[in-house]
Structure 1
């Protein structure tokens, strides 16, 4: 018996009947030999962790664009926080932690530079629109490994696609990640906004503080506890905590996400992304070789969106500077 088989047997012995079992996956896009050590979902997690798109999350915006300070979140730190919250919930409910972690690690791979500001830019200018959760699936299916993709299991791809909008994931593990994503971003965005002196902890709605707590740790614990206590046949949050979360979300949109400090920089980022798109729409021949191949197969719009969405904040700024900012003329020697 291989180590993988023992792990698969352990899942059946210990996990809930609502869990997704690795040996019952709906499979991969391409068949391949099983690993003797890792289950299918463990392999998916490792493939995501080691791919190029995951590393680039380190230099992509969460909320504040190019913040000066080491403690503001990036897409990478956000992803790690989502993963930890999701695993905590999965373990408490005796669901599959490996599947949960794989989905959480991959859920934002398709995010543009400058976070939702960049996504807005591509969505407005692309004839086909742009959604980061769909691009995350495209990354793992087509863009990584030189166009071969990561060949992930159906359950992981489905969880990534459904983490933000639209239909619920087919697995409870995927539904956990949707809740974990909301829990993580709302609470760490509060912390970052306080650090940026946009809001203070005292300004948070009184009802929210009474229901969820006054600190980040208390709020996350309250939301996680509510999900664990109320979930069974499905993943749900208790009514009081859900109402408090919605009130907190409304507060954050009014006071932080739409604040002049954030919006002014987001508008710049949105326009920067649009300018890059317009440039490559006129000069598709300037795309890197791998994206020229996409132009031939799927059209210029698809290739340009793939190229821009994969950029880090600093690369996008550097490229914009190279393409649009005049250089001082110097006499050639």
Structure 2
């Protein structure tokens, strides 16, 4: 296992050394473009592509990689772990303290290497293994989601093993709005409180550094809609459970020209004033990273210029980093030109 975690000093030095624009937080700095690992086939071909792209990015200036236990049947985490071991342990080309790794859990995953689809993983590993109970499951259409701390403790250990890391820098509750739709707001925020307490224990054990919410529609929809998450209520619950000395620092949500609600919809209330998600997060001291810049590839298929799309997001001062799925190294090379200091158009 690789010891250590991202530090402010070493992440800043890494970005400066590689002439990358610094997206700074109080805790560490990361590249304004991150490599996302969501899409792709669960096969050796795409694993090789991802490993090549991630290795190039980490060697040349991208120091933020985002993944999740359910991505590509656990292959995305495992592919990232292969690269981290190669670059940090074997070749010693980067230091653990220079890079930021985020992962997430909440959705029931499958395990392609064990030949278990999600329903089989749920039964054979989680239910029969006593990790969760049937009553912990919240099901919306084909999505199976849980909020019970025992599952996240299990998932964090699995993710650490896949990644080969002692500590994951940012750990997200993945798409919590799925459970919210089933259990309702009152139960949801009470379960969130228990999760926050559990995550603080994970921080004290050194398994994670910080945590947050990675949502799809929950932060973006109207307050009257099922699955709506109030950031102010989340923070109030957090402070009630933990106090001000907490490690809930990040939120992740989609943002693109089709799904622009994070910037345009004033659906979040803070101190009785209405704000967008991006504005509310700043008011509440949370760092925002965004996902799905190309609307899961649909914008590119419709002929939109991907670099113009990224530039429009990179110009937004409320967005610290954008997750871009890049399993082709050519895309990594081109996208990195947008964030290099020497010719950076976002400075």
TM-score, with structure 2 as normaliser: 0.27
TM-score, with structure 1 as normaliser: 0.28
Richer in helix (by share)? 1
